[in-house]
Amino acid sequence: MAEIRVNSTGGVKFYDADDSHYAQIKAGTITSDTDVLTLGHDAVVAGTKVDLNGQELILDADADTSITADTNDQIDVRIAGADDFQFTANTFTAQSGSSIVVPDGGLTFGSTAISSTAAELNILDGVTSTTAELNILDGVTATATELNLLDGGTSVGSSITVADADGFVVNDGGTMKTIPATDIKTYTGGGTLVKTGQTTLGSTTSAVTVDNCFTSDYANYLVIMEDFTNTVDSQTLRMALRTGGGSGSTDTANQYRYASRYFQDDGNADSNTGIDQGQFTIATNNEENVSWKGFCGMFTFYQPQVNDSTRYTGNGSFIQNNVAHVTAAYYAGHYDSDAVHTGLTVYFGSGDIRAGAKIVVYGISEA
């Protein structure tokens, strides 16, 4: 039968029924001659400390989950028979095959909470950039829209008129730089045409006018006229210069002189000349049939914006009355007095110009 014995050293021993094992209480310490000391199912309240002395503390019923500190200054956590986690001074380590699960928003570095989700952090998976490469982004102020302009799949935007102060991005010997458009003009050289004005008729009207197309930016200008058809048959196409820039007015002074030579498709030829006129005469006896393309021509104006006399030369073609002839025309004209001309207007002696007529003016860059 079980017995309680008091030994000579002051301890109390509790023996089991067959006297083979015991538990001893001595000086506040409970010991056993077996490896396992089983306490009751109720809570056990310890004193100031419980000293396991490096022994394993088993936590579950099947004895495969425990905590042990058999290595000095190290705690090992075993779960389901596997060593999963380890604590050492100031360090928590997940062992091979184990992982740490942190809920979104539950991670803090220092005093800074990490608000990124796992999906957002996974974007960095596979990134091979170096610190130096990532630091290139330091100070970048471009917006996403601006960076997307470098994407080859980005659709082309609307057209603009390139000005001298506009910028282009170039690779200058390995360094990316933004340069003004004037550098492109200097490099290409050889002269270019720069559109300075255009008017296209959307409906029938009495005249086609382009103002502020002659400026100090260029010395000489190319004027292209397309499909000038009248609503009245057998009329004369005329052209006059304008002054005053964007709010210009037509110069009707009797200072115009011109000489034109016409060659018809039947071999005949005639001329049209004038001195001290109020405008230039371009084409006579024009066909009004809308199914035939109207007058088309090109004219070069020499320094119209300089306060001096103005000269032009040109050529064109048109259909004469009753579709009688296709006529080739060659022109020279001169405005005799000093004047600063900033635009031009084209009209017929009578009737209106049909929709579709167009004037385009180009400045001739000599650089």
Which strands, in side-by-side order, build the sheet including 326-339?
Answer: 192-200, 358-365, 220-228, 295-302, 308-319, 326-339, 256-264, 269-277
* Counts of helices then strands in the chain (DSSP H, E): 4, 26
pLDDT band at 231 (very low <50, low <70, confident <90, very high): very high
Name the DSSP class of 354.
Answer: P
pLDDT value for 202: 94
d(CA 310, CA 348): 22
Domain 194-365 has CATH 2.60.120: yes
d(CA 271, CA 266): 15
What are the backbone dihedrals phi and psi of residue 2, each rounded to the nearest 5 degrees, phi first?
-65, 145
The CATH 2.60.120 portion of the chain extends over 194-365
The dihedral region occupied by 27, where left means phi > 0, alpha psi between -120 and 50, and beta the remainder, is: left
Residue 24 has pLDDT above 90, yes or no: no
Name the DSSP class of 120.
Answer: H
Higher-pLDDT residue of 165, 223: 223
Which residues contact residue 266 at a Cβ distance below 8 angstroms, ignoring those fewer than 6 apart? 325
- The tens digit of pLDDT for each residue in 167-219 reads 888 888 888 888 998 888 777 666 789 999 999 999 999 999 999 999 999 99
d(CA 318, CA 151): 49
**Does the pTM exceed 0.95?**
no
pLDDT band at 38 (very low <50, low <70, confident <90, very high): low
pLDDT band at 112 (very low <50, low <70, confident <90, very high): confident
Which residues contact residue 338 at a Cβ distance below 8 angstroms, ignoring those fewer than 6 apart? 307, 308, 309
- The tens digit of pLDDT for each residue in 290-334 reads 888 999 999 999 999 998 899 999 999 999 877 788 999 999 999
Neighbours of 130 (CB within 10 A): 8
Q: Which residue has tokens 């905590």?
A: 67
- Average the pLDDT over 121-136 and give the result: 84
